[in-house]
Structure 1
Amino acid sequence: MPSHSRAAWRKANLREGYTTSACATAAACAATHTLVTGQRVETITIDLPVRSAVTFPIETCLQQDHSVTCGVIKDAGDDPDVTHGLEIRAEVAWRNEPGIVLEGGVGVGHVTKPGLPVPVGEPAINPVPRRMIIRGVANELSNLGAERSVQVTISVPGGEAVAQQTMNPKLGIIGGISILGTSGIVKPFSVSAYRASIYIELKMAAYNNVNHVVLTTGARSETYAEGQYPHLPEYAFVQVGDHLDYGLKQTRRLQFQQVTLSGMVGKLSKVAAGQMQTHISQGGVDLGFLADVAVRLGADESLQEHIRNANTAHHVQLLLRKAEIDGLETYLAQQAAEKAAVFINHAVPINVLLWDIRGKLLAEGTV
């Protein structure tokens, strides 16, 4: 089976999961049901924004005099989600004042910086999850004929520790994870989810008056760029991975004044060749392009042929160094800057940092 067919088969057969918003809604509805009826439930069935009648098993059901706490285990399916396996709990308590109030408890983060969908000081429960939870509880109360008001408190045991593995600390969300998800469904290895995180980080940088953002292809190139620009705040550095095309478009949309691309020779050689989406599914390193560059730099026909049959862009670097031919990295950095600038119609000044794997800056390009 061809590699691209295997990848498609694996993606088609990956198991979907449920978002923290779906789990929180299910837990809140189960707690509401038990609070009204006095009867514990082993499962609860709710409607999600994109799917009806989804049933969740209830892990915990703790009854007290005026409140009930229920918990649902977060199942992310086959997605490598760090919140997988956490218990999302909801305590529902009677209150005298009218309405349904939603709060964040232990393990749910609180927002400390502006620029996010949730105001500063509020629990990190995004707008759609907030509506899902409140609507679910309201429907449960109505269906059971309970004309009373409640307070719902979402908590996540272990959430504060797990949050350190997310981008929450960088975004200024402290104390726990966020309750996220607009559909209720986790699609494994979702491109849309990754791109959404890129947009959130860039939007936050723009909201906090950051004029210069650095798009990095990975963790190492981000670390190296942070050393290059120590004056920039942490949230000015955004890992876009293979989605440079999307990141660049958003920098234009958000009207930044300066954009830096930080990466190594493999990804940046693709950008220099005009490939802004650098995932392997869109093609590997263009060795023909690198062979043509080598000719510009003085490579003979024999070396050119060796480059066309090289294993990686790094292999090309080694071949040129052995032949004592310089200039590859400088050419690629400049071409990457020029191609990126053309991609966004020169809307934002672009510069490129090209590193080796140990963090040595090999070349810069500027447009």
Structure 2
Amino acid sequence: MSETEKPRQKLRTGFTTGACATAAAKAALVSIITQKKIESVEILLPKEKKITINIASCKFESGSARCSVIKDGGDDPDVTHGAEIIVDLEITKNAGSIEIDGGTGVGRVTKPGLGLEIGTAAINPTPKKMITENLAVTGKNILDTSGISVLVSVPKGEEIAQKTDNPRLGIIGGISILGTTGIVIPYSTASFAASIRQSLDVTVAMKGDAVVLTTGGRSEEFSRREIDLPDHCFVQMGDFAGYTIQQCAKKGIRKAHVAGFIGKLAKISAGVKQTHVKGSKVDMAFLGEMAKRCGAASSTLDRIKAANTARHVQEIITEDKVPGFFLSICNEVHKQMTAHSEGKVEIEVILFDFDGSILGRFPQQGI
């Protein structure tokens, strides 16, 4: 092991924005009941699990309180990590009711397909249920004669939301309060898969039957120049090519434009369904065989065999002017994606270079 390498340690779990809001709400209610500043609370998560969360700030009066929690995503790379989730809680005259809404920095729903009513705050059903259940237990005596109003806000939510899919999904003005378990599992693929399904659900709900599946932000940017479809039809599939096209078939999507760069598309063409850099490597032997079928010289094949990356292979193919190679990549991706969708989705594949020019497209459209 080199001096710069560190031994692997167990990754630390975190908690969701929904768990943060729940903890802040419970702390606010407890502070009203006890008239004491609350430093931590234990909350009940779905499936009867309990966790203790620290309270960052707590101010209270006789019938209202404001408490906050700092979002801790654990070792998961999460744009909401470190965000302050604030709850303003008030005791109301509406006996037995628990009302939950979003304030500053919590997005508002403007498109269908998210499982939330248009115009409402983007607080998902599980977090709402968590807040309600925890407050119902803690405030049982209060609810006999009064109600509870909860307002969730995130001071930097609108800024954070620009780094998420919320604007594309029609969630305007802030982040979503999310979480199905309350716990964030580090580097979990589950949240990304859920995001893909949600994006496709929005497309379907908006009566769309065609999508543009890209491997990331840059390929999406280049795709927008080529394909005239509404924002909600662009879905970043990341490394989950096989899964995404399967979901397209399941949800009745008619056509999928699949766009990306040589690295991801080379992996898909070789039959890799999950293309994360740590989970699979570009198969240089496979690319060499494709180049051979396109009539590449032996010297070119030797260079490909010794290449570092797929991008390096792209440079070699371009320099040595191997005809039809990029079209062949697109053709193979088309075959793989068609197989994953069981032939239920019409597929077009576009391979971009890193400046946004099209290297290959299948089926061909006269380029």
Structure 1 pair 149–320 and aligned structure 2 pair: CA distance change class (3 A): closer
Distance 1:38 1:321, change over 3 A: closer
SS of structure 1 residue aligned to 2:44: strand
Partners of 1:152 and 1:159 in 2: CA distance: 17
Q: Using the alignment, how far apart are the partners of 2:300 and 2:94 within structure 1?
A: 80
Deviation for aligned residue 1:153: 1.2
Question: Do the aligned residues in 2 keep the contact of 1:335 with 1:365 (CA within 8 Å)?
Answer: no
**Structure 1 unaligned runs (5+)?**
none
- Please report how far the alpha carbon of residue 65 of structure 1 lies from its aligned counterpart in structure 2 after TM superposition: 4.3
Q: Superposed, which structure 2 residues align to 1:136-215 within 5 Å? A: 136-142=134-140, 147-215=145-213
Give the whole-Å Cα distance in 2 for the aligned partners of 1:317 and 1:80: 31
Q: Report the AA paired with residue 285 of structure 1.
A: V
Which of 75, 84, 104 is the matching residue for 1:106? Answer: 104
Q: How far did residue 143 of structure 1 move?
A: 7.4
Deviation (angstroms), 1:333: 0.7
Cα distance change of structure 1 residues 29 and 265 upon mapping to structure 2, 3 Å threshold: same
Query: Within 1, Cα distance between the matches of 2:106 and 2:317?
Result: 53
Q: Identify which of 11, 15, 39 aligns with 1:14.
A: 11
What is the 5 A alignment of 1:101-140?
A: 101-140=99-138
Relative to 1, partners in 2 of residues 1:302 and 1:51: Cα closer, same or farther, differing over 3 Å?
Answer: farther
Give the superposition deviation at 1:348: 0.7
Count of paired positions: 361
Task: Give the RMSD, CA atoms, in angstroms.
Answer: 2.1
Partner in structure 1 of residue 343 of structure 2 = 346
| Residues 321 and 71 of structure 1: CA distance in aligned 2, closer, same or farther (over 3 Å) | closer
Matches of 1:287 and 1:310, distance apart in 2: 7
- For the residue of structure 2 that corresponds to 1:182, the secondary structure is coil
1:258 partnered with 2:243: no
Q: Which of 38, 49, 53 is 1:52 aligned to?
A: 49
Query: Which one of the candidate residues 27, 32, 47 is aligned to 1:30?
Result: 27
Q: Distance in 1 between matches of 2:299 and 2:48?
A: 60
2:229 and 2:143 map into 1 onto residues whose CA distance is 56
Instruction: Give distance in 2, aligned partners of 1:282 and 1:97.
Output: 54
Instruction: Confirm or deny: 8 A CA contact 1:141 1:147 kept in the other structure.
Output: no
* 2:82 is equivalent to residue 82 of structure 1: no
Give the secondary-structure state (helix, strand or coil) at the position aligned to 1:293.
helix
CA distance in structure 2 between the partners assigned to 1:89 and 1:56 by the alignment: 14
| Separation of aligned partners in 2, 1:136 and 1:149 | 14
Q: State the 4+ residue runs in structure 1 displaced beyond 6 angstroms.
A: 143-146
Whole-angstrom distance in 2 between the partners of 1:324 and 1:31: 68
Query: Do 2:210 and 2:253's aligned partners in 1 also have CA atoms closer than 8 Å?
Result: yes
Q: What residue is the counterpart of 1:221 in the other structure? A: 219
Please say if 1:330 is aligned against 2:327. Answer: yes
Distance across 2 between alignment mates of 1:301 and 1:157: 61
Gaps of 5+ in 2: none
| Residue identity (%) | 41
Question: What amino acid maps onto 1:91 in structure 2?
Answer: D
CA contact (8 A) 2:105 2:156 kept: yes
Change (3 A) 1:296 1:56: same
Question: 1:259-308 CA deviation, whole Å, 9 max, x = no partner?
Answer: 11001111111222222221233321111111111111112334323322
Residue 185 of structure 1: CA displacement?
0.7
Q: Which amino acid aligns with 1:127?
A: P
What secondary structure is seen at the aligned counterpart in 2 of 1:281?
coil
2: CA distance between counterparts of 1:88 and 1:256?
37
Return the alpha-carbon distance in structure 2 between the equivalents of residues 306 and 61 of structure 1: 64
Q: Deviations over 1:143-172 (max 9, x none)?
A: 789653211111112212222222111111
Amino acid at match of 1:105: G
